[in-house]
Structure 1
């Protein structure tokens, strides 16, 4: 519920609620078509391939052009999940497409951007189901670019905003079903950790950053409330584990993440109303003994790591060094003290 004087969240999100529980999306964000012609002078080639035809899910693969001419070195594999509050956008939305092009180029990695089902037509955990299904699909090396150029032993799950939430919960599912030797049902795909960019989490009680930025023009807390109302399972509140990582048994599974030797990168911006939730997530991960690297810019709003070139470059620099083999020495950092 929003109060008088606050922006109408439905108008802000450019959506209309329908009586049958669906929404009409009024946004006109352009889509970018994949380009896989190697004769074109582009730094990254892109191609779409179907994951689940019934659910209309697909993956967009981003391959750095130099990989076509270098068969001796396989590239790290980043599985990416786009943001949009679980209700908006696509792997083909122009700014997520452009961000993944830059991610593949800047980190010299193959990026697989997963297009998942959106809420409220498909409420959580549908997006988590699609994420895990995408990992099952990936393990069979379903595309020549993956078979010929991807290092399946060096895979990271990455997401932006709600996509980071999806990456986190998909990783927990994988960890819960992986044995003590790290052998799992996804072999030969071997996940090394998570990269969570401005992750979208919350709780019933407002945190100080939400109070401080209550009228944030990008993602005000009452707008987040509507996103959660549209995406969480019917009848649950924001204390549910999908929203609040301290709910449910996520903490127990994080201990399994520690045993597997996975690492976590959490990044964000101090002028994001969700930043204290993001710091809280990093704190929880560190409490469970999982190596976590945190980096929060003193400026920048929610979405800056996708749309703003300076913040995006900073993030990609972090990612490049985080995934580079051999793994860098990462220590548990206090998120409150990180840069």
Structure 2
């Protein structure tokens, strides 16, 4: 059983307290993290040979911060590509406090995406709160994006320093940023944190937030309707934000509430095309629809896919497989339509 202890500068906890499963904040302010409980119970090893149509391998993007990612390629690349494939950078969920790029759920999502959309996927890591409060996760996301920019430049120059899987198979003018829950929040902040022109010649063609983790101080309609949600009950939801936001910040901070007065004005941000995916029984549903409406009002090109019976984790629910197939098709169409339009 792995444990990790780090310094915690907040003063919320006056005695040892397990604030999330496997995450203890001690009275002296240090954090004890049981990685077996705060990361997925099942870690999945990369497979550099094709299994069920997908191969994967792990790459380190920045040795100092420890940021890494798992690259997935579809078996279609072995048949000789007529044209190189889009690449999707995927950020996992977990309330910014839990999860792992190599965990069971991100691996499942990335593998499924790789096969159904015929794309290369990177499941990207980021450091977790409360040891690493926001905006560190957003900075780590840009570490991945700048690493990908270097790969793009290597491909353009024929530099052998580039990763061979990416050099042979990726069209760097067709980059998509996608994330689920906290990862969907990260996908938004990849776009608003820096001008995407800074990534040139890398081109972000689209962004796909899936049930993005947004909130605010005033409870929304859906938060009131689903306060005891099995996956994201209100208490857990608020704990995630208390641990992830900068010390002293509340849920109207722009990192949490993209429509707050202090958040970047959506009309002033250059967004690529967006596909927003939401679930009707998600406690975050109201905030996500407000975000969609604000994007439309700001003149942005945004499509909405809604799963009426879906919960916050509908992508993992077998009973909703028909809906998930519909979502798969919407994502694939969005990616490939972007290229053709």
Q: Which residue of 2 aligns with 1:110?
A: 120
Identify the match of residue 316 of structure 1 among 318, 328, 337: 328
Contact map agreement 1:201 1:244 (CA 8 A) in 2: yes
The match for 2:4 is none
Could you say which residue in structure 2 is the equivalent of 1:36? 48
Q: Does 1:299 align with 2:312?
A: no
From 181, 188, 193, give the equivalent of 1:168: 188
Counterpart CA distance in 2 for 1:9 and 1:267 is: 32
Matches within 5 A, 1:1-339: 10=19, 13-19=21-27, 20-25=29-34, 27=37, 29-37=41-49, 40-141=50-151, 142-174=162-194, 177-178=195-196, 184-247=197-260, 250-258=263-271, 262-306=272-316, 308=318, 310=321, 311-327=323-339
> What whole-Å deviation, never above 9, does each CA across 1:84-128 have from its counterpart, x for those lacking one?
000111111012101100100000001111111111110000000
Question: SS of 1:286's equivalent?
Answer: helix
Summarize deviations over 1:236-285 as a string: whole Å, max 9, x none.
10000000001255442543325xxx111111211111100111111111
Q: What is the count of residue pairs matched by the alignment? A: 309
Change (3 A) 1:104 1:162: same
- Match of 2:111, SS? helix
User: CA 1:302/1:47 → structure 2, altered by over 3 Å: closer, same or farther?
Assistant: same
Q: 2: distance between equivalents of 1:41 and 1:216?
A: 35
Unmatched segments (≥5 aa) in structure 2: 1-16, 152-161
Q: Secondary structure at the match of 2:96?
A: coil
Give the secondary-structure state (helix, strand or coil) at the position aligned to 1:240. Answer: coil
For residues 37-71 of structure 1, the C-alpha deviation after alignment (integer angstroms, 9 at most, x for no partner) is 2xx55301101000111211101101001113324
Deviations 1:113-155 (A, max 9, x none): 1111111110000000000111100012141111111111111
Q: How far apart are residue 301 of structure 1 and its match?
A: 1.2
TM norm structure 2:
0.85
The 2-side partners of 1:54 and 1:289 are apart by 40
Give the secondary-structure state (helix, strand or coil) at the position aligned to 2:269: helix
Contact 1:172 1:254 in 2 (8 A): no
Q: What is the CA–CA distance in structure 2 between the aligned matches of 1:78 and 1:41, rounded to whole Å?
A: 20
Closer/same/farther in 2, CA of residues 41 and 79 from structure 1, 3 Å limit: closer
CA positional deviation for 1:172 = 1.2
Tell me, in whole angstroms, the C-alpha distance in 1 between the residues paired with 2:59 and 2:261.
35
Secondary structure in 1 matching 2:172: strand
Contact 1:197–1:305, Cα closer than 8 Å, also in 2: no
TM-score by length of 1: 0.85
SS in 1 for 2:69: strand
The secondary structure found in structure 2 opposite 1:257 is: coil
Query: Alpha carbons of 1:283 and 1:14: their partners in 2 closer, same or farther (altered >3 Å)?
Result: farther
How far the C-alpha of 1:327 sits from its partner, in A, is 4.8
